[in-house]
Amino acid sequence: MQPINVHDYEVLAQTQLARPIWDYYQGGSEDEISLRTNRTAFAQLRLRPRVLVDVSNSNLKTSVLNTEIDMPILVAPTAAHSMAHSDGECATIRGADAAGSGMIVSNDASFSMEEIARASQGLRWYQLYIHTLNEAQQLIKRAEAAGYQAIVLTVDTPLLSNRERDKRNAMGNFQKKYYPGAFSGNARHTINGSLDNSERAAYAGHTLTWDTIAWMRTHTSLPIILKGILTAEDATLAVQHQVAGIVVSNHGGRQLDGTIAPIEALPEIVAVAAQHCEIYLDGGIRRGTDILKALALGAQAVLIGRPILWGLTVQGSEGVRHILEILQKELQSAMILAGCPSIKQISRSLIQWT
Rounded to the nearest 10°, the torsion over CA 225, 143, 103, 42 is -30
- Alpha carbon distances (Å) from 297 to 117, 223, 238: 33, 24, 19
Q: Which pTM was predicted?
A: 0.95
State yes or no: 280 annotated in a binding site.
no
Residues of the chain with pLDDT under 50: 189-196
State yes or no: 163 annotated in a binding site.
yes
The whole-number pLDDT of residue 201 equals 54
Q: How far is C-alpha 215 from the chain's CA centre?
A: 24
State yes or no: 317 annotated in a binding site.
no
DSSP 268-335: HHHHHHTTTSEEEEESS--SHHHHHHHHHTT-SEEEE-HHHHHHHHHHHHHHHHHHHHHHHHHHHHHH
The whole-number pLDDT of residue 192 equals 47
Q: Which helix (DSSP H) or strand (DSSP E) does residue 115 occupy?
A: helix 113-118
DSSP 32-92: -HHHHHHHHHHHTEEE----S---SS-B--EEETTEEESSSEEEPP-S-GGGT-TTHHHHH
Cβ burial of 182 (10 Å; 0-12, 13-18, 19+) is: buried
Structure confidence by residue, pLDDT tens digits, 139-175: 999 999 999 999 999 999 998 899 999 999 999 888 8
The whole-number pLDDT of residue 193 equals 45
Cβ burial of 206 (10 Å; 0-12, 13-18, 19+) is: exposed
The whole-number pLDDT of residue 116 equals 97
The whole-number pLDDT of residue 190 equals 46
Domains, the chain, ordered by start: 6-353 (3.20.20.70)
State yes or no: 129 annotated in a binding site.
yes
Around Cβ 260, how many Cβ atoms within 10 Å? 16
Q: Which helix (DSSP H) or strand (DSSP E) does residue 142 occupy?
A: helix 133-145
For the chain, give the longest Cα–Cα distance. 64
The residues, any chain, with a CB within 8 Å of residue 274's CB and separated by 6 or more, are 298
State yes or no: 227 annotated in a binding site.
yes
Q: Which helix (DSSP H) or strand (DSSP E) does residue 98 occupy?
A: helix 88-99
Cβ 251 vs Cβ 28: under 8 Å = no
Q: Which of 81, 189, 251, 322 is catalytic?
A: 251
Cβ 320 vs Cβ 16: under 8 Å = no
**Residue 206 annotated as catalytic:** no
State yes or no: 116 annotated in a binding site.
no
Cβ 250 vs Cβ 230: under 8 Å = yes
Cβ 159 vs Cβ 255: under 8 Å = no
Distance CA 63, CA 46 (A): 26
Alpha helical stretches, state H, 160-287: 164-168, 171-178, 197-202, 211-217, 232-240, 262-273
Structure confidence by residue, pLDDT tens digits, 203-256: 677 889 999 999 999 999 999 999 999 999 999 999 999 999 999 999 999 999
Cβ 303 vs Cβ 290: under 8 Å = no
The whole-number pLDDT of residue 202 equals 60
State yes or no: 154 annotated in a binding site.
yes
Cβ 74 vs Cβ 280: under 8 Å = yes
